[in-house]
Amino acid sequence: MAPGADLRQGVADLSTLANADLAELWRTVTNADEARAALQDILPALCETYGSASATLAADWYDTLREDMNIDGRFSAITADLGDQGGDVLARWGIGPLFGPEPDWAAAMVLIEGGLQRRIANGARDTITGSSYADPKALGWQRVGVGACAKFCQMLIDRGAVYSEGTARFASHDHCHCHAIPAFGGRPLPVKPYTPSVHDSTPAQKAGTSTRKTNVPVSDVDRLASLRGRLRAAQAAPGNNTIDIANLKRLIAGLGG
């Protein structure tokens, strides 16, 4: 089983429940104005309810992991203080596709569900990262994913880096299923750096001339996530601006994304 698979599944289940609540809302609205009003009313509550549940789930998971690994010393995970998660902002942004000449309800649902999923998952991520900073026996946290990850996520996972307080925040995108997992001192790292097999390498890679970009600085990770979000929004917007989309794609490519 992949590290943190049980936690990741639990958070995914919370997102499924939140989407079921959203589905009930979608059935009650018939136009963009109704959708905006309903979403602005319910999304902040959904973010708080399921985000808090995600944080609590992660705290319990952290404490259980620590006990199962027989980590010395007493420490209890710290549930993240989520604050304002931007549910109102998500409501206004996600309904953009509904205000075009031909309202695209499917596109709006994808944007809203993706933004809600990220906010729910952040409850768990922030709890794990914050607890790993406060735990005297933890070195920090590592990023772990599952299945076919986004290119930028896979690049970070392949590094196998351990992040400590002040070195990085957990960057993510909508519909991202990556999670944080603590790394404890004196124990094997849960995520090892990726080393390509010589049997799987292309001739160029064997010669040391691979064109794969794996040197994106951690400081650019947040910018990559922001640019990707802007690109998705631009592509989903009615009458999207092809020049803006092309420029965003060039910026993302320039950062190795």
Q: Is residue 211 part of a domain?
A: no
Mean pLDDT, the chain, as a whole number?
A: 80
Q: How many domains does the chain have?
A: 1
Please measure the distance between the N-terminal and C-terminal CA atoms of the chain and give it in whole angstroms: 29
Q: Is residue 220 part of a domain?
A: no
Q: Is residue 214 part of a domain?
A: no
| pLDDT at residue 199, as a whole number | 52
3-state helix, strand, coil in the chain (%, to 5): 55, 5, 40
179's enclosing H/E stretch is strand 179-184
Q: Is residue 244 part of a domain?
A: no
Q: Is residue 151 part of a domain?
A: yes
Name the nearest CA neighbour of 227 among 239, 245, 210, 209.
245
Q: Is residue 206 part of a domain?
A: no
Q: Is residue 236 part of a domain?
A: no
| pLDDT at residue 256, as a whole number | 58
Interval 203-253: pLDDT, tens: 544 444 333 333 344 445 555 555 565 666 556 554 555 656 666 676 666
Q: Is residue 254 part of a domain?
A: no
CA distance 42 to 88: 9
Q: Cβ contacts of residue 216 below 8 Å, gap of 6+?
A: 152, 155, 224, 255, 256, 257
Domain that holds residue 103: 5-197
| pLDDT at residue 211, as a whole number | 37
In this structure, is the dihedral angle defined by the CA atoms of residues 152, 155, 157 and 159, taken in order, positive or negative?
Answer: negative
- The larger pLDDT score, comparing residue 242 to residue 77, is at 77
How many Cα atoms occupy the beta-carbon half-sphere of 222 within 13 Å?
Answer: 5
| pLDDT at residue 69, as a whole number | 93
